[in-house]
């Protein structure tokens, strides 16, 4: 069995090269090929000798993610199915606007959190992605932005399939590969990691001094309603989440966003907006109001436009920084909450 070259760290690679009587600096060259230039073929590492490339290929392989299929929305959104080396599939989305090119990427195959409104939540969690598999999605979507829009990727959101904080180490490692000068050299301020709300892991983000932004999938600002749609809330109450988010903010100063899907007849009243306002007063955050994107597994409906506007206006009147996010890619099941592998 060959070992995945991208799972070897710099020090171990230096030791391996020393055993082969190769100079130490070759390890850094290899790392640059992997993480700066994103090559997935050892033979493409042209500043290595042919002999070293052959030796590397005898021992190592690169388990690259490949695009399985892509769907194109009428609004320009591109949803891709990505095939992993073991034939599992995940989905990622390129969301183009006039000012941004955003990659929405996955961190797990399936999900274990069973949120009632999310298509991924009805899938079985098969496994976590490794850091390279997360990184590969960014590279593939970055290439799509160049190919289809002649524009660079500007933002990355960990809002695809899975719960990033339940794949903590790989998620952090992938951010390192994306932001490191030896990697893609991105600013972490252009990266947002979204969580359904795992208090102890939010605190760990603070302890680890992460530089990226954090989004909480809130969707209800009282425990009774949130328990109904997000079972994770039963062990991570809003009180505990507020405490953890404040801890994160005190440690990092990074932006926190509340994501709030407005469901017809469930959480769309002014009383619900009042609950959200009370929670907002406990945590320094901005609020994204999100249209609901129907899925076949659930009976939720999107709130009417005037209800959404009224909800947002109430928050704005109370000095909340609020933004209504209109759905993108709904016609190809690429919008928020719709990601699930469907064979066509």
CATH number at residue 259: 3.20.20.70
Query: Which of 61, 87, 103 is at the close of a domain?
Result: 61
Tell me, yes or no, if 336 is annotated catalytic: yes
Residue 327's alpha-carbon distances to 139, 145, 266, in angstroms, are 24, 19, 19
Beta carbons within 10 angstroms of residue 316's beta carbon: 13
Residue 197 included in any domain: yes
Among the options 104, 111, 118, 336, which is catalytic? 336
pLDDT of residue 333: 54
Residues of the chain predicted below pLDDT 70: 327-344
In a shared domain, residues 49 and 78: no
Tell me, yes or no, if 115 is annotated catalytic: no
pLDDT of residue 293: 80
- Are the beta carbons of 87 and 79 closer than 8 angstroms? no
pLDDT of residue 337: 47
In terms of residue numbers, what domain contains 303? 66-332
In a shared domain, residues 132 and 177: yes
pTM above 0.85, yes or no: yes
In a shared domain, residues 79 and 210: yes
In a shared domain, residues 129 and 248: yes
- Are the beta carbons of 119 and 337 closer than 8 angstroms? yes
In a shared domain, residues 94 and 217: yes
Among the options 14, 22, 91, 133, which is catalytic? 91
Please state the domain count of the chain. Answer: 2
């Amino acid at each position: 069995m060959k070992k995945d070259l991208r799972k070897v760290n710099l020090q171990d690679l230096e030791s391996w090269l020393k055993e082969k009587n190769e100079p130490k600096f070759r390890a850094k060259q290899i790392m640059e090929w992997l993480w700066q230039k994103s090559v997935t073929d050892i033979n493409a590492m042209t500043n290595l000798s042919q002999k070293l490339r052959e030796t590397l290929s005898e021992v190592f392989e690169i388990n690259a993610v490949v695009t399985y299929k892509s769907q194109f929305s009428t609004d320009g959104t591109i949803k891709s199915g990505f095939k992993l080396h073991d034939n599992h599939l995940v989905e990622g989305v390129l969301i183009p606007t006039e000012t941004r090119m955003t990659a929405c990427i996955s961190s797990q195959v399936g999900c274990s959190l069973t949120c009632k409104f999310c298509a991924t939540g009805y899938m079985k969690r098969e496994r976590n992605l490794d850091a390279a598999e997360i990184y590969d999605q960014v590279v593939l979507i970055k290439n799509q932005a160049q190919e289809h829009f002649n524009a660079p990727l500007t933002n990355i959101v960990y809002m695809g399939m899975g719960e990033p904080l339940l794949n903590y180490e790989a998620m952090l490692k992938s951010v390192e590969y994306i932001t490191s000068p030896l990697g893609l050299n991105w600013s972490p301020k252009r990266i947002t990691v979204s969580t359904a709300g795992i208090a102890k892991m939010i605190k760990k983000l603070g302890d680890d001094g992460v530089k990226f932004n954090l989004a909480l999938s809130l969707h209800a600002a009282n425990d009774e309603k949130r328990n109904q749609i997000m079972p994770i809330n039963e062990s991570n109450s809003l009180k505990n989440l507020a405490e953890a988010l404040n801890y994160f903010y005190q440690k990092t100063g990074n932006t926190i966003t509340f994501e709030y899907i407005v469901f017809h007849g469930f959480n769309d009243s002014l009383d619900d907006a009042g609950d959200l306002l009370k929670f907002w007063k406990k945590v320094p955050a901005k609020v994204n109001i999100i249209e609901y994107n129907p899925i076949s597994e659930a009976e939720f409906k999107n709130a009417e436009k005037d209800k959404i506007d009224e909800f947002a206006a109430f928050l704005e009147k109370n000095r909340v920084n609020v933004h209504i996010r209109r759905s993108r890619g709904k016609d190809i099941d690429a919008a928020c909450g719709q990601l699930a592998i469907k064979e066509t």
